[in-house]
Structure 1
Amino acid sequence: MRLSDLAALPLTYPEVGATAGELPSGYHHVHKSAVIGRGRARFEEAAAAGLRWGMLRGAGVRVEPTTPVAEVGAEVIVRLGPIPAPCRVVYVVDEPHRRGFAYGTLPGHAESGEELFLVVHDPVTDEVSAVVTAFSRHATWWSRLGAPVTSLVQRVVTDRYLAAL
């Protein structure tokens, strides 16, 4: 699988952008957050790192993106081990107190769905949090067969995403 081949591929799920609101039924849902610091400077630092694929890289995931900073339409191949997981950025959040991006799965990914990586600053408490929201279901026979293992890996990697920034 080459990065240059991904632009022609369709997303593997119809609910594009659903991590921005109510998650669709029929999928496994994840919503986890962790406080990663305090203050506006910490928010700016973490948000900038997050948009440069920082949650993924900091979690030990190999990242091969088409752009150095996440932007709508950018493709990325992520690898945790030898299996490629191709994705495309479907939206970017750039608000005063929320920044991040969501990507969706492309053909060749073991799962079908979307994942949002977000950094949030609460102006009342001054806390900065990392947030991961996702919906997914198995897309291959081998991911269905290995469901107990893939579910465990997803939980561990999500926790590592939150600790990465």
Structure 2
Amino acid sequence: MTQRKLTYPDPGLTERPYPVALEGGWPPRYRLVLREERVSVPDPALGFLRLADGLLGWALHRGSGLWVDAGTPRARPGLEMSSGVGIGPLRWHAPCRVLWSTEPVIDGSGRPVPGQRAGFGYGTLRGHPEAGEEGFYAELSEDGQLFFRVAAFSRPANLLIAVGGPLNRRTQELITRRYFRAARRLALGEK
């Protein structure tokens, strides 16, 4: 089976293993979103595992108010999925393909190894309102701090979306803020 083409060139730029910086190396003429937040939890290692599981299992998206098909398996390279907003036939679908995913590395005692990132990145397919890529990262720093990071580059996929520029940017900002609220809840073990 042939995979559908992505709507932008040079996929995989969001794959940035620890400690590769998220700054720099992005394509020109795309809107760039780089956000990070230190997530304060009583046990950062446990919070990292919870957050990584929530990222890879789509709980971050669902917790942000996005619809993800209930039958969509855990994020893995090559998986095509669709998220969206709305209800029933009034739902805006945003199809993507997972380009990379990284599971947590666990030591012999069942704890995550400090100095790592887990998460995934996906690229847009035809029908998505944007053209570009987004990466979601749970990070456990070498000194044991937990971070949630998002890196995305995008541009409007069609003229209608381009005309709605300010509204489109506000919508992206709203969803990104919701990602961070959901990430805090996931790291704390809240649903």
TM-score normalised according to structure 1 size: 0.89
Q: List gaps (5 residues or longer) in structure 2.
A: 17-24, 106-115, 184-191
Per residue, is there more strand in 1 or in 2? 1
Residue 69 of structure 2 aligns to a residue whose secondary structure is strand
RMSD of equivalent CA atoms: 1.8
- What residue identity is the alignment partner of 2:152? A
Letter in 1 for 2:96: C
CA distance in 2, matches of 1:20, 1:65: 26
Where in structure 2 are the equivalents of 1:1-165 lying within 5 Å? 8-20=3-15, 22-38=25-41, 39-64=44-69, 67-81=72-86, 82-94=91-103, 96=105, 97-124=116-143, 126-165=144-183
Write the distance in 2 (CA, Å) between the matches of 1:84 and 1:121: 32
Give the number of equivalent residue pairs: 159
Give 1:130 shift.
Answer: 1.2
Shift of 1:50: 1.0
The TM-score, its normalising length taken from structure 2, stands at: 0.77
In the alignment, the residues of structure 1 paired with residue 170 and residue 72 of structure 2 have an alpha-carbon distance, to the nearest angstrom, of 30
Alignment partners' CA distance in 1, 2:39 and 2:68: 22
Which protein is bigger by CA-based radius of gyration?
A: 2
8 Å CA contact 2:77, 2:101 repeated in 1? yes
Identity %: 35
Distance in 2 between residues matched to 1:65 and 1:133, nearest whole Å: 25
User: Retained in 2: the 8 A contact 1:75–1:87?
Assistant: yes
Query: In the TM superposition, what is the alpha-carbon distance from 1:109 to its structure 2 partner?
Result: 0.7
Q: Structure 1 runs of 4+ off > 3 angstroms?
A: none
**Which whole-Å CA distance do the structure 1 matches of 2:10 and 2:97 have between them?**
14
